[in-house]
Amino acid sequence: MIGLLLPSIRATLVLAIATGIIFPCIITAICQVCFPFQANGSLAKQGDKVVGSELLAQGFSKPEFFHPRPSAAGSGYAGEASGGTNYGPTSRKLILGDQSFAGIKQEAENYRKENDLAKDVLVPVDAVTRSASGLDPAITPANALLQSKRVAKARNLSESQVQELIKKYSEERYLGLIGEPAVNVLRLNMALEALPKGTRQAE
């Protein structure tokens, strides 16, 4: 019995220190030198102030900002509680909602109202569904374009100016092949904020 347990105890200690302490420390050291921006959370800053992470969605509800997808992380976009709704396809709450939860029906109505869309305009599905992480930083280009009119009006910009920005911040597929086109909402909104105010161009 001792002959069996002793190597097990020694192996546990040796491998735990090697894989659980030494390995992550070496990797941390390399990453902090080679990729300090990414290794520290891809923080987005305005001056010295940390306003979020470029990789994480944050809540936007004012009309002058592009809005991310709805979120099920905590009370919405909570970094400490990532996750999805986990509602299945036949969930009444998911589709119709209740007092505490806006279902897809209500999300679609809100989206139409906010963006002044006619009743028969279909809402892109990513705008009314919650992502898996609750922190999905991106929306589809189709979703962004439908919001551009509202944002342009609220910022006194021309629609084409806003749409140009959308184009600039659309991430294409990797090598034209892998992934899906996506617009990073925080980067786009920060670019809007960086524009000089009231520069509406003649249309």
Partner 1 sequence: MTLIGWTQIFLFALILLVVTKPLGSYMLKVVEGEKHILSGVLGWLERLTYKLFGINPEKDMTWIEYGQSMLAFSLISMLFTYAILRLQGFLPLNPMHFSTEQAPAYATALTPDLAFNTAMSFTTNTNWQAYSGENTMSYLSQMLGLAYHNWISAAVGLAVAAAFIRGFARRTAGGVGNFWTDLTRSCLYILMPMGIVYSLFLAAQGVPQTFDAYQVASTLEGAKQIIPLGPIASQEWIKMLGINGGGFLNANSAHPFENPTPLSNFIQMISIFLLPAGLTYSFGKAVGDTRQGWALLAAMFVLWFAGTFLCYQFEAIGNPNMQDQGVEITTAALGDSGGNMEGKEVRFGLANSALFAVVTTDASCGAVNCMHDSLTPIGGLVTLLNIQLGEIVFGGVGSGLYGMLVYAVLTVFIAGLMVGRTPEYVGKKIEKKEVKMAMLFVLAAAFSILVFTGISTVLDFPEKSFINPQGATWNNVNNGGPHGLSEILYAFSSATGNNGSAFAGISVNTPFYNTLLGIAMFIGRFLMMVPVLAMAGALAGKKHVPATSGTFPTYSWLFVVLLTGVIIIVGALTFFPVLTLGPIVEEFLMNSRRLF
Q: In this structure, what token pair is assigned to residue 29?
A: 């050291």
**186: which residues sit within 8 A by CB, 6+ positions away?**
44, 52, 53, 54, 56, 57, 58, 137
Q: Given the complex with partner 1, which of 196 and 203 has the nearer CB atom?
A: 196
Closest separation in Å from C-beta 69 to partner 1: 7
Q: What are phi and psi of 119, to 5 degrees?
A: -60, -30
Q: Given the complex with partner 1, which of 121 and 160 has the nearer CB atom?
A: 121
Give the pairing type, strands 182-184 and 170-171: antiparallel
Q: Which of 147, 146, 106, 99 is nearest to 129 (CA)?
A: 106
Closest separation in Å from C-beta 163 to partner 1: 18
Q: Given the complex with partner 1, which of 139 and 152 has the nearer CB atom?
A: 139
Q: Which of 27, 54, 30, 59 is nearest to 42 (CA)?
A: 54
Closest separation in Å from C-beta 10 to partner 1: 5
Q: Given the complex with partner 1, which of 152 and 182 has the nearer CB atom?
A: 182
Closest separation in Å from C-beta 22 to partner 1: 10
Q: Given the complex with partner 1, which of 164 and 193 has the nearer CB atom?
A: 193
Q: Given the complex with partner 1, which of 34 and 202 has the nearer CB atom?
A: 34
CA dihedral 140, 191, 146, 136 (to 10 degrees): 30
Closest separation in Å from C-beta 153 to partner 1: 18
Q: In this structure, what token pair is assigned to residue 69?
A: 């997808």
| CA dihedral sign, ordered 61, 65, 69, 72 | negative
Closest separation in Å from C-beta 65 to partner 1: 7
